[in-house]
Amino acid sequence: MRTFISLLKANLNVHFGISSLKYRFTKEKNRLWEPIAIIIAILVGGGSILAMYSFFLLAVFMAGQSLGHPEIVITLSFVASQLIILIFGIFYIISVFYFSNDMSILIPLPIKPGEVLGVKFITILLSEYLIALPMLLPAFIIYGAGSWQGILYWLKGSILILMAPILPLVIAALIVVLLMRFINIRKGKDIMVIIGSLLALMVGLGINFFSLNLPQGSEEEVIRHMIESNTGLIEAIGNKFPPSIWATLALTYREWQGWGYFLLFVGLSLLLVVLLYWIGNYFFYKGYLTGQEIRRKNTAISKGDIQKHINRTSSPILALLKREWKLFMRTPVYVMNGLAGMIMVPIFMFMPLIANSEELTQVLNYARDPEYSLIVILISLGIMLFTSSINMVSCTSISREGATFWISKVIPTPPKDQVLAKLIHSSILSLLGLIIVAIPLFIVVAIPLLHLTILIILGFLATGLINVLGLIVDLLRPKLSWNDPQEAIKQNLNAFFSLLIALLVITVIAIASIILISAQIGEFWVYGILALIIVVLLVPSIYGLFSLANFRYKSIEI
């Protein structure tokens, strides 16, 4: 047990960067503004989402109470949180269990595989509480306060909330460990992560589609309709995921019945944890080591092929660009974070058409009116810029290299050429995002092809500016020390700074557009002046990027 606790402390320290944070707060006091920025971002972004979610749960509770089923708010929160943890937990577990850099250190140690797996599982579990607690606590408090529950309710509920993420995470871990035992993880990981990510996207889009097809009426009437549906919402949820019903009945039934469901929920969770530990001892290391095996190909290389490869040459920029694409495409986490937003936004733009409401028809009629064409085009430019700039490619270009950044320091290519290749790579992805968003604008809003071309040109210049500034941020504070690829993006504050930069550029363009429209300048003059403003900002930014690259590539240490 002492070994397990020591290993757990070390793993938590590495995963959450506890020692690094202590050093930063005590020694690098000039960087104390960073946690303040994070707290502000969480309060503004997460606080607003949590408030909206809490109001929705309150409406669910009130509608359910009027029908004699207030406990539906608990069922809904439990099933939603556990389903999200199960879906996203699958590829999160794959990354932490099988692709973290510490596995080569842990395997030779005299520690049981189940203990290593248990330490990693607890680390993931603590991270998942950031999802579970905001989803469960509001429902727990609303039901408890609204129905005047006693002390036993608050005691049992606190334990059930702490146990809630365990069940879906154990199920996801069992699936991954057993599957990896029979799959070569070098070949299977990309497919599994992409499938898991696409599944998560499909769930999100399905929820959005469902919300657009709800019956018309007030929020309380809509929720009342859900509860009064023929299938019975609680029974339907229970048939698909019984533990959510067990948790609900454990909190709402009194005396021995409630305690029976409470023990059933907790007992099954603990039993599956024991099963995971037992399976981990037998299959965890075997699955990992099997995936590390590489089979030699029996194809011989002729002298002609060797000579052909030796004589083949290409420009350094092109070679570096190919390297960027390979590093990006070989890691599904990077691909999904880079492309998911650009794919989802156009789909969300099409989805309102399914609702076919009178309000939407009226908005589209205004958007298609030639009198408002300039305003519509400039608003469309803002949408295109925001969508194409959320790919987080440029602001993590250096960070994604991680411990291999030393290669970039020693190759005989100037840093200027290396950052130029990164800029071209991120700009290509941004251009792809602009084109993807332009398609629904052309179909739904009926923007003329000439104006759409101007939009793409202006968008390309503006996203170029955003990408340059994002690269500058990543050069100034690269995150090169990470244990698995997700940390390079998910736990990188540069992504937050890049979003602020994108919003700042959009704000500058919006203010300039308002001034130009108020001055009643001709439409194409507006486009020309906006392009000139962007170019005036872009040129010195590129010069500053190249100058900074020459300095930072020498000073950055691994």
pLDDT tier, 472 (very low <50, low <70, confident <90, very high otherwise): very high
Q: For residue 299, how many C-alpha atoms fall within 13 Å in the half-sphere facing its CB?
A: 3
- CA-nearest of 496, 491, 512, 547 to 21 is 491
Amino acid at 136: L
User: What pLDDT score does 418 carry?
Assistant: 92
Looking at residues 532-538, what average pLDDT do you find?
93
User: What pLDDT score does 246 carry?
Assistant: 81
User: What pLDDT score does 83 carry?
Assistant: 79
Distance CA 463, CA 431 (A): 8
DSSP 96-141: HHHS-TTHHHHTTSS--HHHHHHHHHHHHHHHHHHHHHHHHHHHHH
pLDDT tier, 539 (very low <50, low <70, confident <90, very high otherwise): very high
Among 32-36, 78-82, 472-476, top mean pLDDT goes to 472-476
φ, ψ of residue 454 to 5 degrees: the values are -60, -40
Burial of 189 (0-12, 13-18, 19+ CB in 10 A): buried
Amino acid at 238: G
Whether the predicted pLDDT of 184 surpasses 80: no
User: What pLDDT score does 462 carry?
Assistant: 92
User: What pLDDT score does 219 carry?
Assistant: 44
| Range name among 69-78, 90-99, 274-283, 524-533 with the lowest pLDDT average | 90-99
Q: Quick count: other Cβ atoms within 10 Å of Cβ 111?
A: 15
- CA-nearest of 201, 181, 182, 177 to 124 is 177
Distance CA 266, CA 164 (A): 9
Whether the predicted pLDDT of 341 surpasses 90: no
User: What pLDDT score does 535 carry?
Assistant: 94
User: What pLDDT score does 307 carry?
Assistant: 62
User: What pLDDT score does 347 carry?
Assistant: 63
| Range name among 30-44, 91-105, 350-364 with the lowest pLDDT average | 350-364
pLDDT tier, 291 (very low <50, low <70, confident <90, very high otherwise): low
Amino acid at 59: A
More confident residue, 362 or 434: 434
- Whether the CB-CB separation of 89 and 169 falls below 8 Å is answered with yes
Distance CA 288, CA 311 (A): 40
Where b means 16+ CB within 10 Å and e means fewer, 42-79 reads eeeeeeeebeebbeebebbbbbbbeeebbbbbbbbbbb
Whether the predicted pLDDT of 41 surpasses 60: yes
- CA-nearest of 241, 254, 223 to 61 is 223
| Range name among 295-309, 410-424, 438-452 with the lowest pLDDT average | 295-309
Whether the predicted pLDDT of 202 surpasses 50: yes
- Whether the CB-CB separation of 224 and 63 falls below 8 Å is answered with yes
Whether the predicted pLDDT of 494 surpasses 80: yes
Q: The tokens of 420 are what?
A: 């130029």
pLDDT tens readout for residues 76-109: 888 888 878 887 777 678 777 777 777 778 878 8
User: What pLDDT score does 359 carry?
Assistant: 53
- Whether the CB-CB separation of 275 and 177 falls below 8 Å is answered with no
Looking at residues 450-454, what average pLDDT do you find?
87
User: What pLDDT score does 214 carry?
Assistant: 44
- Whether the CB-CB separation of 55 and 138 falls below 8 Å is answered with no
Distance CA 76, CA 142 (A): 13
| Range name among 88-102, 386-400, 454-468 with the lowest pLDDT average | 88-102
User: What pLDDT score does 421 carry?
Assistant: 92
User: What pLDDT score does 469 carry?
Assistant: 93
Distance CA 349, CA 440 (A): 7
Q: Quick count: other Cβ atoms within 10 Å of Cβ 162?
A: 15
More confident residue, 476 or 52: 476
pLDDT tier, 438 (very low <50, low <70, confident <90, very high otherwise): confident
Where b means 16+ CB within 10 Å and e means fewer, 86-95 reads bbbbbbbbbb
The pLDDT > 70 percentage for the chain reads 72
User: What pLDDT score does 468 carry?
Assistant: 93
More confident residue, 537 or 390: 537
pLDDT tens readout for residues 394-428: 888 898 888 888 888 888 889 999 999 999 999 99
Amino acid at 254: R
Where b means 16+ CB within 10 Å and e means fewer, 515-545 reads ebeeeeeeeeebbeebeebbeebbeebbeeb
Q: The tokens of 238 are what?
A: 């229970």
Distance CA 272, CA 267 (A): 9
pLDDT tier, 217 (very low <50, low <70, confident <90, very high otherwise): very low
The pLDDT > 90 percentage for the chain reads 10
Whether the predicted pLDDT of 543 surpasses 90: yes
User: What pLDDT score does 377 carry?
Assistant: 82
As a whole number, the mean pLDDT across the chain is 77
pLDDT tier, 541 (very low <50, low <70, confident <90, very high otherwise): very high
pLDDT tens readout for residues 314-327: 678 888 888 888 88
| DSSP 8-state class, residue 69 | -
Looking at residues 225-231, what average pLDDT do you find?
46
Looking at residues 111-132, what average pLDDT do you find?
86
Whether the predicted pLDDT of 211 surpasses 50: no
